[in-house]
Structure 1
Amino acid sequence: MSRLVLIDGSSYLYRAFHALPPLTNAAGEPTGALFGVVNMLRATLKEKPEYVAFVVDAPGKTFRDDLYAEYKANRPPMPDDLRSQVQPMCDIVQALGIDILRVDGVEADDVIGTLALAAAADGLEVTISTGDKDFAQLVRPGVVLVNTMTGSRTDSDAAVMDKFGVRADQIVDYLALMGDTVDNVPGVDKCGPKTAAKWLAEYNDLDGVIAAAPTMKGKIGENLRAALPRLPLNRELVTIRTDLALDQGPRDLQLREQDADALRGLYARYGFTQALRELGGGTAPASVDDSKISLRGTAAGYAKAADSAPAIEADPVLAAKGEYETVLTDEQLQAWVKRLHDADEFAFDTETDALDAMRANLVGVSLSVEPGKGAYIPVGHNYPGAPAQLPMTQVLDALKPLLENAGKKKLGQHGKYDIHVLRRHGIDVRGYHDDTMLESFVLNSTATRHDMDSLAQRYLGYTTTKFEEVAGKGAKQISFSQVGIDEASAYAAEDADITLRLHRVLSAQLAAEPSLQKVYREIEMPLVQVLARIEANGVSIDSVELKRQSADLSARMLAAQQKATEMAGHTFNLDSPKQLQAVLFDELGLPALVKTPKGQPSTNEEALEAIAEQHELPRVILEYRGLAKLRSTYTDKLPEMVNPDTGRVHTSYHQSGAATGRLSSSDPNLQNIPIRTEDGRRIRKAFVAPPGRRLMACDYSQIELRIMAHLSEDPGLISAFEQGADVHRATAAEVFGRTLEEVTPNERRAAKAINFGLMYGMSAFGLAKNLGIDRGQAQDYVALYFSRYPAVRDFMERMRVQARENGYVETLFGRRLYLNDIHARNQGLRAGAERAAINAPMQGTAADIIKRAMVSVDGWLAGHAEQAKMILQVHDELVFEADVDFIDTLRGEVESRMAAAATLRVPLVVDTGVGENWDQAH
């Protein structure tokens, strides 16, 4: 039987636009919606239907607007980025040989409904390609709904019932009761899908529900009776018309022959490589490649893309399984050494027996010089019956000249780990030129996780072998040294091979984005070796001091427990949320102002802060928790983290840990040591300099505010910084109309809260909470601030607009943060994206500046390695350990290099301190 496919073009265009992250072709033209629709069309045409129509809404009003003036009144105008894709979409549809239907005065739904029923009556099988639930009313024998973007199929009354809880012939009444927020059709208040389905199951149709309204009980009955006058109109608005007089009938919609030349030009222009390849038309520009799904958007955008985009065929070379060799003989080793010598670049990876690079022992090395080919050289597998392996010294001696040759390009995936491992085994890696983790991170920090498994799936369509598959999981997991060499070789060689394949894809995309390429090449890649050196340097810890602090914290925790017991009148476990709930809310009767996701009274920090003014116990519990966290996280744990070989603590820095580009750290996390409390600052006393040396801490002063002044070009802020004034006092003087001398401490505190709060998108409500004032007064403060610093307000609005137009904002150096939720219908998500749009340029620029400073300072320190070393980076601060008699020289060089890391409209100021421990130096 012949088949007619009716494509709901308007629906797919909008869904693709909002589901996929912002895409552009090499010329910068937006292509995201086009990408989704074109791939949906390709999937449809592969099924070879005889008749096809692409149906879209015509411009102008429809009969529904005449029935109800507010119909779709809340819909925003079509975004410019989407509007620019409409004509290219139509051009591609026509070139594919598909008729485009637009009928004035009605919607695409009505055209599809009329053609569907006419075609079914004419003996054609009808497929309606849509994601719109309204079309479920058309399902009947011969008429099927298929969501080509997700693959879901609704082909019977039973399928409609299973999906919506009502029959197909009840869908209209179901929609009339619920209403439609998208089309601005108000339904019965509080009537959702379950209530509507329940009523229709009991009363059969809308007329039956209306007749039963007088006897309906409760609030929902009241809501139904209030909605009765509009329900008949609702039914008319949501009913798809099937009786239009159309110029074309179903059999007039025969699929025409494709215009291959036109398609070739369009696919090449918009960068649809796989579609172009299917035509035999070569390749498209590298910036957008649909065969590798090179999307750019936020994590949420990618999640949506994965859920809603049609399956895309991966590049057969990049997605194929590789051929791998296990190197067990000297002849094989020398052959690979020659391959590495002859190659322009090669990927390498290490396998070890531990995750801590500062303690791990080498088990093997993997290599790759071309996609699909790789080798594994085992050197440390020691399970019973393991085959003979080449001696580690022989392998390292053979590889050392290549790995230490700065002129030989090397690449890895999170190569900092491998650099540490090889350094500890006598090889100082030079010429580390590319890192796929960082290529992915710079391209789009929030698009996906940046581990190899995620990147391979995202960019290659390749499913890698997971560590657990070869080593087991949980308590049964074995060391890699115990994994069979055959299994280990397949796993390890794949790592090097996939790294090389990923680099081929990601480097091409970076090359198409010059600003991102510059961030990657000038900031992120040089920083790898800098961070490796900082981590290797480590920091000395005074374990005796930490033990003393632990004892003090324990005593104070006990005192807090005793105090809480007295207040409650009995003993209870302060660490048990269940017991806390009972004491606070049942026994003391305090209000539960914050709830858990399951609706239970919460005992988290926010909940306790909310009721701390009503009773002293919540404050005691907060004090106890703060002390317990300091003890467990730092004073007890840090001595256990001292490396037995070096006698120092070595943190790990993560370049891809924060979307804005800020570094994070772990094991231990030094970024989160609290400095606003005396107890938190005390912990820094345990970070000490060895005898004859001192610690020096250099901290950018108010760097994000200075960046705000630079980016906004506000004369008032710029003037305050140029004069070296206390900027918070200067702001208070401006806002409150005082002289600098007249500003009170409370006014300075308010100005500081505004200065920093605005950078993080703080609302008047947030400011009121922060300052302990009413919302009206806080709103007055904000209004005063913007009246004195109007360019700041203009800058914030520019960032919102830029985010809405481009889908991203940029730092001063060109780093991007994509904001997929900037177009979200959910107001909370959209507001969050707007706050990020304002803050990211400042926080990201600050991150870029300190990274540039670290690279510069590290380059100078290379000539003074015995006298000084960089040992810590925390937020806007760098910490050094140096000989006492070298401190002055170090201070001058570091301050000048940090100040010169960026050229702003205001000076970059560095505050420096020196001491025997970090607290003294800070």
Structure 2
Amino acid sequence: MSRLVLIDGSSYLYRAFHALPPLSNAAGEPTGALFGVVNMLRATLKEKPDYVAFVVDAPGKTFRDDLYAEYKANRPPMPDELRAQVQPMCDIVHALGIDILRVPGVEADDVIGTLALAGAADGLEVTISTGDKDFAQLVRPGVILVNTMTGSRTDSDAAVMDKFGVRADQIVDYLALMGDAVDNVPGVDKCGPKTAAKWLAEYNDLDGVMAAAAAMKGKIGESLRAALPRLPLNRELVTIRTDVALEQGPRDLRLREQHVDSLRELYGRYGFTQALRELGGIAAPAAADEAKVSLRGTAAGFARGGDGPAPPVTDPAMAGKGEYETVLSDERLRAWVERLQAAPEFAFDTETDALDAMRARLVGVSLAVEPGTGAYIPVGHDYPGAPAQLPAAQVLDALRPLLEDAGRRKLGQHGKYDIHVLRRHGVEVRGYADDTMLESFVLNSTATRHDMDSLAQRYLGYTTTKFEDVAGKGAKQISFSQVGIDEAGHYAAEDADITLRLHRALAPQLAAQPALEKVYREIEMPLVPVLARIEANGVCIDSAELRRQSADLSARMLAAQQKATALAGRSFNLDSPKQLQAVLFDELGLPALVKTPKGQPSTNEEALEAIAEQHELPRVILEYRGLAKLRSTYTDKLPEMVNPDTGRVHTSYHQAGAATGRLSSSDPNLQNIPIRTDDGRRIRKAFVAPPGRRLMACDYSQIELRIMAHLSEDPGLIRAFEQGVDVHRATAAEVFGRKLEDVSANERRAAKAINFGLMYGMSAFGLAKNLGIDRGQAQDYVALYFSRYPAVRDFMERMRVQAREQGYVETLFGRRLYLNDIHARNQGQRAGAERAAINAPMQGTAADIIKRAMVSVDDWLAGHRARAQMILQVHDELVFEADVDFIDTLRAEVESRMAGAARLRVPLVVDTGVGDNWDEAH
């Protein structure tokens, strides 16, 4: 079984600092805490975990500070000797190949708790490496605690009982009663561990203890009654959250390859001789400089894993650092302009003071015309004592003719960001010819991450300078405008240089595979400026409407909480899986129909749905969760995301995110707004057209089923689409032997489940569950389906065979999806790869089709931008904003171009709606 180790970094650093003597290295730098943490890390890694995270507290307040202003108020500031060891600790952790996690607004404990339960639910063996007693509340099958500094292990409820005198599920109440002096949480006066354990043994939980307070005698009874008002808050403060929204899941935390030379340099500097001995000695200074840890990668692709095409052999001439120049004079600027004019192509990059391209201020521009060289032109470094720089207007005026020349080839890495920044500073980039992120993504979407650092390491064997090397980390990280120009110059020029080198390495690989090069040249690269325009256009938001919706959702959440309390017969935390388990399965006696991989009763959505017919409470909890998610993700958040300069919300689209080629979006994520519920549809009402304009939404109808008909060439499916009949009704007629007009609603529903289920690799077991029928009947449905649509079955088998033989499947347009688990020993992983082999050609083809449609529609819109603009892409839908009197013209043109984006054996049908808001238009 794969292992996940979650290291409580904040706790270990403090404990090591106070436990070990004040050691220092030869230079007088403090090393005591660092020494303790490094030994702990080495011990952890000797156990060979598969996934690891080093979790530390983020700077700033957390939700607990909002609950209780005095939370941790008596903690002294971090001692200077300890603060000096934080950065070296982070450097060593990174060099060991371990991810460091900091999540604002919550504590490290909550991040660990969320990952621990998610990992256990995903079948991982989870170890929490900590010395903090609070984590005992998380112990359960699949989750154990190990104090790596002392060797103690808490791996069961019995172990928790032996150590604390209470069960693991009583630890929260145990801590609430005792309080926590370190965190300034006052407990019951005179209530120590023995008293807390005694009360919980007698009354089971905090609610029971509180209910018995009136009858308690003596001073301790008085103390308990005096503490009653604050005990519910105590319980909330000491409860480790397990529902934190995280960008990384447990399986995203795979232990990376160590940067050995960096470790040698760091261990040598701090005098860790035993650790050095394990590595084989101290690196030479030059080698250590070459081995800086590489973590840059903002706004890049997120795919991980896989082998795919082998990386090219690194050219030894390109293995060293480049020759870079910082341009500070008119003369050198003119010289570089002349070099750019003489070059057949050049790479460019921008440096800014923020990650949001719609708000970032330009700090400098970097350029490269040949491998190994580069220039940085600073224009916005404003720290005290910064040298004089050329004015931004002068630099942009000099570069504008080159950047705006459509006939001059420009290269970038995730260049959409730079296109945005330059546009906002008065330069419209044209001739953007190649993007190394997209070259890598098209070559193999799953072979590696597609950020510059990962690509440089994989394809060039080169370790880049990371942003943290020049700007610092965490609370001490500075804006790039504050970075010294010498350091900034090397870092920024390297970006342009490495982009050029990567293009020279990746372009031949694409050229060797004409089908992939065609996907890159005809779909992905033309889409870059289209997405940039859509993002820049943005969408108008009715913030007042969203505030009304938030108020309504809050009121209904409160009502749901009150109803749940009444149904349970007591108050409990609806967000706590542990408390839900106790109420639903222990107290109400409902059956645990869905279990976690470790056999515990699950409280996820599927589990609650399974018992919703047996008691009203599960349905109330599901309602509460749905309302809470809508409020936190959309109605509360969207008004905060309105750009103050444009008055609109601007999402970011990611081309190199989903392996199948589907676009994803973030900040905000518009792909996940629910459309099957009234509350979800209400959110779309807040996406509005400005005065004098309307919104138009154009959505492909059943596109993946149509692609299935085309790829399988099944006569029955093709006939249904050609005749324009309801395909689910037609399928029901075929499967159940009915006339179209005689098909019942339940039969159509079953046929729809079969159509979509089989397309996504659903088994008979899954179909039975979906339809609420027994497995034998579901198997009969599947057999009937394949007897009527035999070509569909043949297509599915062809895809499985192709995946096994080639290691990949393809879309209609030649995009490949490599299936790394198709030969996995694990049956579940192999089955998942086979399901992907069936679905990926359809989902990927649908992605390619809508991208082609976007490029075509945008090309036509070039002559009508004052009258209409494309503002959103969501799944198979495009949304436009247009003048009222231009809607009919727009509709005819968009429908024609979307329908003509591919030639299939069945027609592509586009459903269109128009309205004052997105809900009306959808």
Cα deviation 1:642-672 (Å, max 9, x = unaligned): 1111111110000011101110000111111
DSSP 3-state at the match of 1:609: helix
Matched, 1:621 2:621: yes
TM-score (norm: length of structure 1): 0.66
Q: How far 1:323 sits from its partner (Å)?
A: 1.2
CA distance in 1, matches of 2:690, 2:367: 41
Q: How far 1:575 sits from its partner (Å)?
A: 1.8
Decide which moves more: 895-904 or 319-328. Answer: 319-328
Q: How far 1:619 sits from its partner (Å)?
A: 1.7
Q: How far 1:593 sits from its partner (Å)?
A: 4.4
| CA contact 2:733–2:740 (8 Å) conserved in 1 | yes
| CA contact 2:312–2:460 (8 Å) conserved in 1 | no
CA distance in 2, matches of 1:353, 1:544: 31
| CA contact 2:348–2:368 (8 Å) conserved in 1 | yes
CA distance in 2, matches of 1:910, 1:564: 44
What residue in structure 2 maps to residue 721 of structure 1?
721
Matched, 1:576 2:576: yes
CA distance in 2, matches of 1:889, 1:590: 59
What does residue range 185-264 of structure 1 map to in structure 2 within 5 Å? none
Matched, 1:363 2:363: yes
Matched, 1:384 2:384: yes
DSSP 3-state at the match of 2:881: strand
CA distance in 1, matches of 2:640, 2:567: 36
CA distance in 1, matches of 2:602, 2:371: 53
What does residue range 336-375 of structure 1 map to in structure 2 within 5 Å? 336-375=336-375
Cα deviation 1:838-885 (Å, max 9, x = unaligned): 101111001000100000000000000100000000111110000111
AA at the equivalent of 1:892: A
AA at the equivalent of 2:691: P
Matched, 1:301 2:306: yes
CA distance in 2, matches of 1:357, 1:313: 35
DSSP 3-state at the match of 2:306: helix
Task: Label 1:589 to 1:355 Cα distance change in 2 as closer, same or farther (>3 A).
Answer: same
Q: How far 1:600 sits from its partner (Å)?
A: 4.9
| CA contact 2:698–2:878 (8 Å) conserved in 1 | yes
Q: How far 1:567 sits from its partner (Å)?
A: 1.4
Matched, 1:435 2:443: no
AA at the equivalent of 2:520: Y
Matched, 1:550 2:550: yes
CA distance in 2, matches of 1:324, 1:590: 69
What residue in structure 1 maps to residue 897 of structure 2?
897
CA distance in 1, matches of 2:318, 2:592: 56
CA distance in 2, matches of 1:368, 1:591: 66
Decide which moves more: 687-696 or 610-619. Answer: 610-619
CA distance in 1, matches of 2:919, 2:306: 43
What residue in structure 2 maps to residue 459 of structure 1?
459
AA at the equivalent of 2:478: I
Cα deviation 1:424-451 (Å, max 9, x = unaligned): 0000000000000000000001111111
CA distance in 2, matches of 1:894, 1:803: 36
Q: How far 1:621 sits from its partner (Å)?
A: 1.1
CA distance in 1, matches of 2:579, 2:606: 18
Task: Label 1:747 to 1:419 Cα distance change in 2 as closer, same or farther (>3 A).
Answer: same
Task: Label 1:312 to 1:801 Cα distance change in 2 as closer, same or farther (>3 A).
Answer: closer
What residue in structure 1 maps to residue 283 of structure 2?
none
What residue in structure 2 maps to residue 423 of structure 1?
423
AA at the equivalent of 2:317: V
CA distance in 1, matches of 2:452, 2:362: 20
CA distance in 1, matches of 2:885, 2:468: 52
| CA contact 2:306–2:448 (8 Å) conserved in 1 | no
Matched, 1:650 2:650: yes
Q: How far 1:472 sits from its partner (Å)?
A: 1.5
CA distance in 2, matches of 1:546, 1:387: 48
| CA contact 2:371–2:497 (8 Å) conserved in 1 | yes
Task: Label 1:903 to 1:312 Cα distance change in 2 as closer, same or farther (>3 A).
Answer: closer
DSSP 3-state at the match of 1:302: coil
| CA contact 2:611–2:618 (8 Å) conserved in 1 | yes
Cα deviation 1:162-200 (Å, max 9, x = unaligned): xxxxxxxxxxxxxxxxxxxxxxxxxxxxxxxxxxxxxxx
DSSP 3-state at the match of 2:364: strand
CA distance in 1, matches of 2:306, 2:695: 45
What residue in structure 1 maps to residue 172 of structure 2?
none
CA distance in 1, matches of 2:470, 2:904: 52
AA at the equivalent of 2:620: V
| CA contact 2:305–2:448 (8 Å) conserved in 1 | no
AA at the equivalent of 2:869: K
AA at the equivalent of 2:617: L
AA at the equivalent of 1:559: A
What value does the CA root-mean-square deviation take over the aligned residues? 1.6
CA distance in 2, matches of 1:382, 1:562: 55
Task: Label 1:911 to 1:312 Cα distance change in 2 as closer, same or farther (>3 A).
Answer: closer
What residue in structure 2 maps to residue 833 of structure 1?
833
Cα deviation 1:362-406 (Å, max 9, x = unaligned): 011111111111111111111111111111111111111110011
What residue in structure 2 maps to residue 394 of structure 1?
394
| CA contact 2:306–2:446 (8 Å) conserved in 1 | no
| CA contact 2:557–2:628 (8 Å) conserved in 1 | yes
CA distance in 2, matches of 1:729, 1:329: 73
What residue in structure 1 maps to residue 587 of structure 2?
587
CA distance in 2, matches of 1:343, 1:553: 59
The percent of aligned pairs where both chains have the same amino acid is 89
What residue in structure 2 maps to residue 876 of structure 1?
876
DSSP 3-state at the match of 1:765: helix
Matched, 1:472 2:472: yes
What residue in structure 1 maps to residue 563 of structure 2?
563
Q: How far 1:916 sits from its partner (Å)?
A: 0.6
What does residue range 510-529 of structure 1 map to in structure 2 within 5 Å? 510-529=510-529
Cα deviation 1:45-78 (Å, max 9, x = unaligned): xxxxxxxxxxxxxxxxxxxxxxxxxxxxxxxxxx
CA distance in 2, matches of 1:870, 1:650: 12
DSSP 3-state at the match of 2:516: helix
What residue in structure 2 maps to residue 674 of structure 1?
674
DSSP 3-state at the match of 2:620: helix
Q: How far 1:810 sits from its partner (Å)?
A: 0.5
Q: For structure 2, which runs of at least 5 residues remain unmatched after alignment? A: 1-302
AA at the equivalent of 2:622: L
Q: For structure 1, which runs of at least 5 residues remain unmatched after alignment? A: 1-297
CA distance in 2, matches of 1:459, 1:608: 48
What residue in structure 1 maps to residue 700 of structure 2?
700
CA distance in 2, matches of 1:299, 1:391: 41
CA distance in 2, matches of 1:596, 1:439: 40
Q: How far 1:618 sits from its partner (Å)?
A: 1.9
CA distance in 2, matches of 1:440, 1:591: 49
| CA contact 2:349–2:366 (8 Å) conserved in 1 | yes
TM-score (norm: length of structure 2): 0.66
DSSP 3-state at the match of 2:656: coil
DSSP 3-state at the match of 1:301: coil
What does residue range 708-747 of structure 1 map to in structure 2 within 5 Å? 708-747=708-747
Matched, 1:314 2:318: no
Task: Label 1:757 to 1:436 Cα distance change in 2 as closer, same or farther (>3 A).
Answer: same
Please identify the structure whose Cα radius of gyration is greater: 1
| CA contact 2:652–2:668 (8 Å) conserved in 1 | yes
CA distance in 2, matches of 1:748, 1:496: 57
What residue in structure 1 maps to residue 149 of structure 2?
none
What residue in structure 1 maps to residue 533 of structure 2?
533
What residue in structure 1 maps to residue 502 of structure 2?
502
Q: How far 1:581 sits from its partner (Å)?
A: 2.9
Q: How far 1:823 sits from its partner (Å)?
A: 1.3
What residue in structure 1 maps to residue 603 of structure 2?
603
Task: Label 1:319 to 1:604 Cα distance change in 2 as closer, same or farther (>3 A).
Answer: farther
DSSP 3-state at the match of 1:888: helix
Would you say how many aligned residue pairs link Structure 1 and Structure 2?
620
CA distance in 2, matches of 1:555, 1:851: 41
Q: How far 1:826 sits from its partner (Å)?
A: 1.4
Q: How far 1:589 sits from its partner (Å)?
A: 3.4
Q: How far 1:313 sits from its partner (Å)?
A: 6.5
DSSP 3-state at the match of 2:821: helix
DSSP 3-state at the match of 1:504: helix
CA distance in 1, matches of 2:835, 2:904: 23
Q: How far 1:714 sits from its partner (Å)?
A: 0.5
| CA contact 2:732–2:747 (8 Å) conserved in 1 | yes
Q: How far 1:699 sits from its partner (Å)?
A: 0.6
DSSP 3-state at the match of 1:370: coil
